Amino acid sequence: MVFKTFGWSFAVTALGLVAAVLYGGWTAFWLVAILSVLEVSLSFDNAVVNAGVLKKMSEFWQKIFLTIGILIAVFGMRLVFPVVIVSITAQLGPIEAVDLALTDHERYEELVTDAHPAIAAFGGMFLLMIFLEFIFEEREIKWLAWLERPLAKLGKVDMLSACIALIVLLITATTFAVHAHQYGGVHADKSATVLLAGVAGVVTYMIVGGLSGFFEDKLEEEEEREHEAEEEAKRTGKPLAATKLVGKAAFFMFMYLEVLDASFSFDGVIGAFAVSNDPVVIALGLGIGAMYVRSLTVYLVRQGTLDDYVYLEHGAHYAIGALAVILLITIQYEVPEVVTGLIGVALIAWSFFSSVRRNRALAAAGGDDPGSGGPGGSGEKTEVSSGV
């Protein structure tokens, strides 16, 4: 199972490290290895969230996510995206931008760093929308019930997530963006840029997420028509496979995953310049890491990990919220990558151990819902909560 899922990752790792040695010797080898580990450690929350979406999709689209999707992630976000940013900000042609990336690494790093406020605003607002939509949604299983229960009630207000996100954007544009961090430690007023990029992030989420939700609702209507057949299968003891997203629904869900991955990669691409300013080394290192994140996503789906450890998805979304806030803060201040990584790891680890404790409570109660009054329960029969 492990080799089947991670086989391509192992192959890409070998090829990437060999390419690094051929390109820049053993120095490039170690830089690529460091960047690979950095990308994996910072993106575990990305894998958990992706798995929550991917498990709804058919095996065909899961393979598309792991093959074509990784090409978009590696070549699109880790190699082409920084060059496009340089081309736009420096008003250079694509060929000139590529030449600059390969021949003048310091100038290339400067241009990418100066574009960071716009990148952080777009990615930060997209991720913030994901977090807000999650915490305002009414769900049966709650992790931090004392927080999630009242937020779910507030979530009944239409467009609340978008309103809060835009308020956060206005505050960011009038505070952090006024003294945005630039290359060399200088600061500049990037309020208009941040405001425009942030609105683009919110709009992108609403378009891609909205289309995904629309087609998913269409599938639910089809599920209702198949309900009688499912009941018959249950009576006869035949195993039932969960309904998988196919066609247009799966396509838009795939696009949603790609935009989600892009938003997660923004801070990694910028932070990679702290290790190396060579675009080839950065692309190799982050590309290997991205491949492992994709494989880990598929592994979580096939192992049913999110079903066994039900609070993992909660912890990952809280990590997304933390990352969104950190991205907005980095518009003015430099935040070490290790801080970002540790916050995400801590939240996911906390949610994992909460899930383990919940499973033990269920086992001790003979399979009864701990939310009905058992250890760690919330005292309500309609929901499951960690009680913390």
Kindly report, residue by residue over 287-308, the tens digit of the pLDDT. Answer: 888 888 888 888 888 888 888 8
Strands 141-142 and 384-385: what pairing? parallel
Residue 156 buriedness (CB in 10 A; 0-12 / 13-18 / 19+) = exposed
**Higher per-residue confidence, 57 vs 19:** 19
User: Mean pLDDT, to the nearest integer, of 89-114?
Assistant: 83
Q: What is the pLDDT of residue 79?
A: 73
pLDDT digits (tens, 9 = 90+) for 115-152: 889 888 988 898 899 899 999 998 888 998 899 999 99
From CA 15, how far away is CA 211, in angstroms rounded? Answer: 37
User: Mean pLDDT, to the nearest integer, of 212-236?
Assistant: 64
Alpha-carbon Rg for the chain, nearest whole angstrom, is: 22
List, in sequence order, every residue forming a beta bridge with 187; answer none if it has no partner: 181
Give the list of residues 6+ apart from residue 74 with CB closer than 8 angstroms, or none.
283, 286, 287, 290, 291
**Nearest partner of 35 among 289, 368, 321, 240, judged by Cα:** 289
Q: How many domains does the chain have?
A: 1
Please count the other Cβ atoms lying within 10 Å of the Cβ belonging to residue 241.
Answer: 7
Q: H helices within 79-190, ranges in order?
A: 81-89, 94-103, 105-114, 116-135, 145-154, 160-174
From CA 66, how far away is CA 60, in angstroms rounded? Answer: 10
Q: Does residue 376 surpass a pLDDT of 50? A: no
Q: From residue 276, give the alpha-carbon distance in Å to each of 24, 338, 356.
A: 12, 16, 40
The mean of the pLDDT values for the chain is 80
From CA 324, how far away is CA 128, in angstroms rounded? Answer: 5
Structure tokens that stand for 93 in this block: 């042609």
Give the list of residues 6+ apart from residue 140 with CB closer than 8 angstroms, or none.
382, 383, 384
Which amino acid, residue 10? F
| Residue 105 Cα to chain centre, angstroms | 28
Is the pTM higher than 0.85? The answer reads no
**Higher per-residue confidence, 228 vs 191:** 191
Helix (H, G, I), strand (E, B) or coil at 142: strand
Quote the domain boundaries for residue 172. 2-385
Q: What are phi and psi of 57, to 5 degrees?
A: -100, 155
